[in-house]
Chains A and B, each alone.
Chain A
C-alpha cells in the first residue's frame, strides 16, 4: 500500500525558504503514469494546489506561486521535495504531498490526488 510522509521544519522565519520533503513508501516514485504533487491548506481555510511533477522531470506550477516555488525529485531515495522562497505569514499552512493522476482526454484534462500524506503544519513567524 502506497504511503506518503511529509517532513521538514515546522517553523520558518519571514523572508526565508520553506523546504519540505515527501518520502514515498510501498511503491516506486518512478512508476509510470504517476505524478507527485504538493497542496496546502491555511488554518481554517480551503485547499490550494502548489505544484506537481513527473519523475522524469516534467513540472507544473500554480501560476500564483510559480515565481517562488521549485519541486524536485530524488529517485534514489524515493522522495520528492518542495522549496518555497521569500515566505510570509500568508504561507502558514498545512502542507500535503500526494500522488496523483494527470492526463487529458475528450478535449479536457484531469487530475486527482490519491493517496495523500498526513500533512505537516508550517508556521511562518519570527
Chain B
C-alpha cells in the first residue's frame, strides 16, 4: 500500500503570504497525484490533478509540482477564502487502492 505523508500538519500564515504544502509518497507514483481543498461543512473540491494541472475554475494562484515521490501545492498569495484543510490523493496500481494523505490545515496567523 502506498502511503501519502503530508507536512506540515498545520500551517499558520497571513493573507498575502505564500503557502507551500508538501505531500510525500512511500513509493513512486509518477505524476499521478491530486490535491483537494476542504472547508468546514463542505465537500472536498478538486484543485490539482496529475500533479500540476489545475481543475476547472481553480484560480491561478494555486499551483502543483513534483513527480516520483515528492509533491508540493503552492498558493502564491493567500486570500481569506484559502484557509482550509488540504488533502493529497493517489491511486495504487494493484490492488487498485485509492489513498489520501492525512491533510494539512492552513490557518490564519
The residue that B30 contacts in the complex, of A60, A102, A106, A116, with Cβ under 8 A, is A106
Complex-state Cα separation, A48 to B95, whole angstroms? 16
**What total of chain B residues lie within 8 Å of the partner, measured CB to CB?**
30
For residue A71, give the distance in angstroms from its CB to the closest CB of chain B. 13
Complex-state Cα separation, A116 to B98, whole angstroms? 16
> Which residues of chain A in 44-88 are interfacial with respect to chain B, using CB atoms and an 8 Å cutoff?
46-49, 52, 60, 62-63
A-B complex: 10 closest residue pairs judged by Cβ atoms? A110-B32, A49-B98, A114-B46, A111-B91, A112-B34, A116-B43, A47-B100, A108-B30, A112-B49, A60-B96
The residue that B87 contacts in the complex, of A46, A101, A106, A110, with Cβ under 8 A, is A46
Contacts of B50 in A (CB 8 A): 110, 112
Contacts of A106 in B (CB 8 A): 30-31
Contacts of B28 in A (CB 8 A): 108
Closest chain B residue, CB of each to CB of A52: B98
Contact with B along A102-126 (1 / 0, CB 8 A): 1010111111111111110000000
Contacts of B29 in A (CB 8 A): 108
